[in-house]
Amino acid sequence: MEEGLSLSDIWKYIMRKKILASILFGGITILLFILILFAYNPVAGRYEATFNYNWYGIENNKFANGKVFNYYDIISIDNVREVKRSDEKFQNIDVNDAIDQLDIRLKDNIYTIYLKKSLLHNKDLDKEFLFNLITMPYKEALNIEFDFSSNFLGYAAANKIATKLDFLQSQIDMLKSGYSGMIAYYGDVALPQKNLSNFYKEFDAFVSNNKISEFRYLAFKNSHMTKEEYKSIVQQTIALESEQELLRTRKESLLTSLRNIYESSNGNTYMDTAIANYLNSLHNLDSRLMKINEDLTLMKNANAGSYDEAESEAFLKEIETYKSEIDAFTKTYKENVQEVLKKNTILNIISFEEYGRISIIFAILISIIFGILCSLFLTFLVSYFSSKKQRNHLL
């Protein structure tokens, strides 16, 4: 190449091949534009989504039913696989590659999920994939299942009427504390049928007649028992009488020891602890003796002919009817809990940003600039060497 070519000389060489320059410019510009849009952009996208959740228990990293919520599970391999299985358009996702490209952070109750590169070479599908991951805990929180039947299971397994009544009382207490707790936490939520407080008042009115206490009294008064309870009581009579005698002897011994300690204490405060221990032991003994006396009374009544199997069966049906009513209130309570929690379960997507891709306008500018530079340079080379070849041929 000749030395000392000026810009005007270079321009003259280019102008000799104007048509070539135009063709090169058009071809390079279009080719580069196509490469940016369909080769670079599909694989260059990076995404960042910020969001937060709100549901009962999330402040303690739990769902409303007590299940632990670990936000790292949002991008777990199980979740990625579940999203992949959910729709055919995600079938091309490489699960292991997705796990490598995903990351998540938590700061000030704001979650940020990152996708470091495109997984599907499609902007809309990549964003939908991330959105599906984000919504998985939210959907789980919306569809939380609760089991309020543990007391009913205990009721069914119990062989004694007193124990059955204890389970029913526990169910009543659970429902009352549940309603009062919801109202204290969420306020008087408006539900489809009526407000939450009205459901509470309706249940409170139902249990205000103290049917459980009435059942206990009638069971004791009339020696009502289950068949299993009757057989067990008869078999336990001797054992309970032996235990009663032993406890009475122990009680007399404790009382004697307590009198001796008190008489010898002379007001010394260090003896207070020993006295307190003895009193506590006496209290436990008295409680057990009272229970034994109650059971023995039932046994004596049963042995004396007070127990009537038919009457006891009829009495048990009354309790069963009451249990069914509590069961109906429990089902209503479960529906109310789920409705209140759904109303207060929120997913808030704050932002969804995309990085790395070249916009169409910027792609046009890059293509034009690069097309101009490349076409001018190539045209100059072609024109220069063509002219040089012609000169050499003339010589």
Distance of alpha carbon 46 from alpha carbon 203, whole angstroms: 55
pLDDT: is 222 or 238 the higher one? 222
Q: Are 108 and 51 in contact (CB under 8 A)?
A: no
What are the start-end ranges of the H helices in 190-265? 196-207, 211-221, 227-265
pLDDT: is 231 or 104 the higher one? 104
Is the per-residue pLDDT at 282 higher than 90? no
Would you call 270 exposed, middle or buried from its count of C-beta atoms within 10 A (0-12, 13-18, 19+)?
Answer: exposed
**Structure pTM?**
0.64
Q: What are phi and psi of 305, to 5 degrees?
A: 100, 5
pLDDT score, position 180: 95
Region 266-276: what's the mean pLDDT? 64
- Angle separating helix axes 161-186 and 150-157, nearest 10 degrees: 180
Region 159-180: what's the mean pLDDT? 96
- Domain ranges for the chain: 7-144+347-394, 150-343
Distance of alpha carbon 228 from alpha carbon 159, whole angstroms: 6
pLDDT score, position 380: 81
List, for residues 341-386, the tens digit of each pLDDT value: 999 999 999 998 877 677 788 888 888 888 888 888 888 888 878 8
Distance of alpha carbon 320 from alpha carbon 381, whole angstroms: 101
What are the start-end ranges of the H helices in the chain? 7-15, 18-35, 41-44, 77-86, 95-101, 123-142, 150-157, 161-186, 196-207, 211-221, 227-265, 272-303, 309-343, 360-394
Nearest to 193 by CA among 335, 346, 344: 335
Confidence class of residue 325 from pLDDT cuts 50, 70 and 90? very high
Nearest to 375 by CA among 19, 9, 28, 12: 28
Q: Are 111 and 105 in contact (CB under 8 A)?
A: yes
Confidence class of residue 389 from pLDDT cuts 50, 70 and 90? confident
Tokens of 169: 């009382």
Cα 113 to chain center, whole Å? 19
Distance of alpha carbon 388 from alpha carbon 395, whole angstroms: 11
Percent over 70 (pLDDT), the chain: 91
Sheet holding 110-115, edge to edge: 102-107, 110-115, 46-54, 346-355
Tokens of 388: 């040089």
Confidence class of residue 164 from pLDDT cuts 50, 70 and 90? very high
Percent over 90 (pLDDT), the chain: 48
